[in-house]
């Protein structure tokens, strides 16, 4: 009852905010393109004013009723503007990756084991090519590093170091202008990061896992359905099937990612739905709107926005993770079109957001910069989050099993929720200065809080964990020669944590490390994976900037080929170091040096762009496997990694 009253009170408070809000001004949000912000289109000028001319004839007193002018039809005002707008892009990326596992393969560190019967091995820094020896081929654990070609030996003995592939995405972002003041937006991805050639008609699952193995006994196939008759081998496949969950992958051909509405009223603006979230430079809250982005921050939100004395004020109620619902259980499977129910309130993640920002209108900003004025934009955002309990994981015996794996449960088969007691505050400060050709931008964020009952997050489930994480970035850019030559310098960092598990992949999205006994704080901060600093270390091997400080000088020059066409070259170097050495594979401070160079072409009138990028990472001590830490069998120095990528696309 306490939680229900709290939600009712929160709804009343939101309504009160809307009544007190002033009319919103049409300004950009701190995140720029793709972020929900700004007022709607202004209504067209009135058409009721009469031009000067001859006096009108006096109306006839006995005019028949059928000659009277027709009244306006219903909803006529909706036809005063374009009803439907469509934006988006089609992109193609082709990556050739060399030695991303840094010449370091499987190890004898007991961690991350996934092969039954072989429990004493660790994973490489990055997945190795399937051509390399694997623990799945070994019958007795890993061989020493000095035995090349032995099944299961470290991949340092593998001559195959290359991986690569091309992927495609077709993004649609329609806008339905219901009226001048009401808009409905959506984001839909078709073939979302689908690897080209990955869904041939010969693919109907993975043999031995979700389809029967096509082994032979006495010349006869064990299962007549083990191979598809239309294309029993990829070599004889004739076409590409659409991606389908459970058939040839874990994603579908069409993924509806966002849908939200914007309403401008005389009291302010209202937003509700599943929408993008961008703040400041995009360090943590990043909407993923760039043409090379992959993830993006999406939030289920109800928000009010207004402008007071040139400052945008936003207040939002966010619906975070809601725990178990009927849509994940047998009730939802039996009644997929029925009304869905959230089965608990205390396991919901409650999130509240408030922000204030000064953001100059783009036209005024350009005029003030041309006059030589110093222009400062800034903002502060604070996010509060809590969760009272979490849903308990049912035991295997409680699940209904079948030949197709565990099936959805009924509510009475799920254990009662257990206490969690988590609370956090996330202040985020953003600042941007413009002066003539110079731009300086900075953002700093901290996550502060505690988790009273961490459960699986810590080895000691009874110890309270503190949250103390921080990330920051300062970037500058100098534009010269009529905005053709750009020189920039960026420095940033993210805190790290002492908890470490060297036998797992280094990419934070593929690893989980429990807090060991005696370690009662989670300190590792993660940049948004769509905040791109480089092409290899942070983008792929580590997954993002975490437990690191980096320094990045860069320069670019664009050659003007016409009013809308240009060819550019860009180069940068990134020196990176860890903040907590003990949580690196080499127990050292320096990650290494990476250089990235690229050339590109763009035609803004046609929406076409294309580019070529080459990057090289020279790893240093933090990515090595020193003898004192890894032992004789696994000690090795990391080798250089390279990437060559081609990208092209059409924006509309």
Domain count along the chain: 2
Q: Are 473 and 491 in contact (CB under 8 A)?
A: yes
Whether 635 is in a domain gets the answer yes
Average pLDDT of the segment spanning 380-395: 87
Taking CA atoms, 528 is separated from 68, 101, 183, in Å, by 64, 23, 28
Taking CA atoms, 29 is separated from 231, 280, 298, 358, 441, in Å, by 52, 9, 16, 9, 15
Residue 272: count of CB within 10 angstroms of its CB:
16
Q: pLDDT of 522-541, one tens digit each? A: 999 999 999 999 999 999 99
pLDDT at 151 exceeding the cut of 50: no
Separation CA 563–CA 422 (nearest Å): 55
Strand bridging mode 465-480 / 521-522 = parallel
Q: Are 594 and 614 in contact (CB under 8 A)?
A: no
Which of 160, 194, 227 is the C-terminal boundary of a domain?
160
Average pLDDT of the segment spanning 554-575: 94
Taking CA atoms, 105 is separated from 135, 151, 475, 590, 637, in Å, by 11, 12, 36, 21, 11
Whether 452 is in a domain gets the answer no
SS3 assignment, position 493: strand
Q: Are 91 and 155 in contact (CB under 8 A)?
A: no
Per-position DSSP letters for 618-635, written without gaps between them? EE-GGGSB-HHHH-TTT-
Which of 141, 160, 179 is the C-terminal boundary of a domain?
160
Whether 138 is in a domain gets the answer yes
Highest mean pLDDT among 239-253, 293-307, 338-352: 293-307
Whether 512 is in a domain gets the answer yes
Whether 496 is in a domain gets the answer yes
**Cross-strand pairs, 170:** 90, 190
Residues in CB range of 125: below 8 A, 6 or more apart: 100, 101, 102, 104, 505, 506, 541, 585, 623, 638
Burial class (CB in 10 A: 0-12, 13-18, 19+), 209: exposed
Whether 28 is in a domain gets the answer no
SS3 assignment, position 522: strand
Q: pLDDT of 459-501, one tens digit each? A: 888 889 999 999 999 999 999 998 899 999 999 999 999 988 8
Whether 237 is in a domain gets the answer no
Exposure on the CB side of residue 609, measured as CA atoms within 13 A: 20
Per-position DSSP letters for 325-360, written without gaps between them? BGGGSHHHHH-TTS---B--STTS-EEEEEEEEE--
Average pLDDT of the segment spanning 595-599: 97
Separation CA 71–CA 69 (nearest Å): 6
Separation CA 13–CA 90 (nearest Å): 42
Whether 616 is in a domain gets the answer yes
Separation CA 584–CA 575 (nearest Å): 16
Look up residue 45 and give its two tokens.
């000028």
List b or e across 391-427, with b for residues whose CB sees 16 or more CB atoms inside 10 angstroms: beeeeeeeeeeeeeeeebbeeeebeebeebebbbebe
Q: Are 7 and 287 in contact (CB under 8 A)?
A: no
* Residue 651 phi, psi dihedral angles, 5° rounding: -100, 145
pLDDT at 120 exceeding the cut of 90: no
Q: What is the pTM of this model?
A: 0.81
Exposure on the CB side of residue 402, measured as CA atoms within 13 A: 5
Report pLDDT for 286. Answer: 96
Confidence of residue 22 (pLDDT cuts 50, 70, 90): very low
Confidence of residue 620 (pLDDT cuts 50, 70, 90): very high
Per-position DSSP letters for 408-426, written without gaps between them? PPPGGGSPPPEEEEEEEEE
Q: Between these two residues, 317 and 21, which has the higher pLDDT value?
A: 317
pLDDT at 10 exceeding the cut of 50: no
Per-position DSSP letters for 573-592, written without gaps between them? EEEEE-SSGGGSTTSSSEEE
Average pLDDT of the segment spanning 326-342: 84
Q: pLDDT of 90-99, one tens digit each? A: 999 999 999 9
Out of 111-120, 237-246, 328-337, which region has the weakest mean confidence (pLDDT)? 111-120
The domain in which residue 500 lies consists of 479-520+532-652
Q: Are 488 and 432 in contact (CB under 8 A)?
A: no
Q: pLDDT of 278-314, one tens digit each? A: 999 999 999 999 999 999 999 999 999 999 998 999 9
Burial class (CB in 10 A: 0-12, 13-18, 19+), 114: exposed
Average pLDDT of the segment spanning 7-36: 39
Please choose, from the candidates 176, 185, 178, the residue with its C-alpha nearest in 3D space to the C-alpha of residue 78: 178
What percent of the chain clears pLDDT 70, i.e. is strictly above it? 77
Separation CA 182–CA 270 (nearest Å): 10
SS3 assignment, position 639: coil
Separation CA 625–CA 634 (nearest Å): 7
Mean pLDDT of the chain: 82
Confidence of residue 140 (pLDDT cuts 50, 70, 90): very low
Separation CA 303–CA 433 (nearest Å): 28
Radius of gyration for the alpha carbons in the chain, expressed in angstroms and rounded: 29
């Amino acid at each position: 009852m306490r939680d229900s009253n709290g939600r009712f009170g929160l709804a009343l408070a939101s309504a009160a905010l809307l009544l007190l809000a002033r009319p919103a001004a049409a300004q950009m949000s701190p995140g720029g393109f793709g972020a929900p912000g700004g007022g709607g289109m202004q209504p067209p000028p009135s058409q009721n004013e009469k031009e000067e001319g001859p006096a009108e004839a006096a109306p006839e007193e006995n005019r028949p009723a059928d000659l009277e002018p027709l009244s306006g039809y219903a909803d006529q005002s909706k036809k005063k503007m374009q009803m439907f707008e469509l934006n988006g892009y089609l992109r193609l990326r082709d990556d050739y990756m060399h030695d991303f596992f840094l010449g370091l393969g499987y190890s004898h560190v007991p961690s991350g084991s996934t092969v039954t019967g072989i429990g004493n091995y660790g994973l490489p820094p990055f997945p190795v090519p399937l051509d390399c020896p694997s623990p799945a081929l070994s019958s007795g654990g890993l061989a020493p590093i000095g035995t090349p070609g032995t099944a299961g030996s470290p991949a340092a003995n593998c001559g195959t170091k290359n991986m690569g592939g091309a992927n495609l995405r077709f993004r649609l972002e329609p806008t339905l202008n219901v009226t001048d003041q009401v808009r409905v937006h959506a984001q839909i991805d078709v073939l979302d990061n689908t690897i080209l050639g990955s869904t041939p008609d010969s693919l109907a699952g993975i043999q031995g896992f979700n389809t029967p193995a096509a082994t032979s006994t006495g010349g006869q196939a064990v299962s007549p359905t083990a191979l598809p008759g239309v294309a029993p081998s990829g070599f004889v496949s004739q076409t590409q099937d659409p991606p389908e969950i459970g058939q040839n992958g874990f994603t579908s051909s069409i993924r509806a990612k966002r849908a939200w509405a914007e309403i401008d009223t005389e009291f302010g603006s209202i937003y509700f739905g599943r929408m993008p979230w961008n703040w400041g430079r995009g360090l943590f809250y990043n909407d993923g709107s760039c043409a090379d982005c992959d993830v993006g921050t999406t939030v289920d939100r109800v928000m009010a926005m207004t402008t007071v004395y040139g400052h945008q004020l936003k207040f939002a109620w966010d619906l975070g993770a809601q725990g178990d619902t009927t849509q994940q259980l047998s009730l939802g499977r039996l009644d997929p079109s029925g009304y869905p129910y959230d089965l608990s309130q205390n396991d919901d993640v409650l999130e509240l957001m408030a922000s204030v920002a000064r953001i100059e209108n783009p036209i005024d900003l350009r005029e003030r910069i041309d006059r030589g004025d110093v222009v400062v934009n800034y903002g502060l955002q604070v996010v509060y989050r809590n969760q009272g309990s979490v849903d308990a994981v049912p035991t295997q015996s409680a699940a209904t099993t079948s030949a197709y794996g565990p099936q959805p449960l009924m509510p009475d088969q799920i254990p009662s929720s257990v206490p969690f007691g988590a609370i956090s505050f996330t202040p985020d400060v953003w600042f941007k200065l413009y002066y003539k050709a110079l731009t300086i931008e900075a953002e700093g964020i901290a996550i502060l809080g505690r988790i009273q009952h961490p459960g699986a997050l810590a080895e000691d489930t009874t110890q309270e964990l503190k949250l103390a994480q921080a990330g920051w970035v300062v970037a500058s850019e100098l534009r010269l020669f009529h905005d053709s030559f750009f020189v920039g310098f960026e420095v940033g960092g993210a805190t790290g944590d002492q908890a470490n598990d060297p036998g797992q992949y280094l990419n934070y999205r593929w690893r989980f490390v429990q807090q060991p006994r005696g370690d009662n704080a989670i300190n590792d901060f993660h940049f948004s994976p769509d905040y791109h600093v480089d092409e290899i270390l942070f983008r792929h091997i580590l997954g993002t900037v975490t437990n690191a400080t980096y320094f990045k000088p860069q320069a670019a020059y664009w050659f003007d080929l016409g009013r809308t066409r240009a060819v550019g070259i860009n180069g940068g170097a990134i020196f990176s170091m860890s903040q907590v050495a003990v949580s690196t594979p080499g127990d050292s401070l320096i990650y290494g040096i990476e250089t990235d160079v690229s050339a590109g072409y763009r035609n803004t009138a046609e929406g076409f762009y294309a580019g070529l990028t080459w990057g090289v990472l020279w790893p240093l001590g933090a990515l090595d496997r020193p003898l004192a830490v890894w032992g004789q069998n696994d000690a090795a120095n990391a080798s250089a990694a390279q990437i060559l990528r081609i990208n092209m696309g059409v924006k509309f």
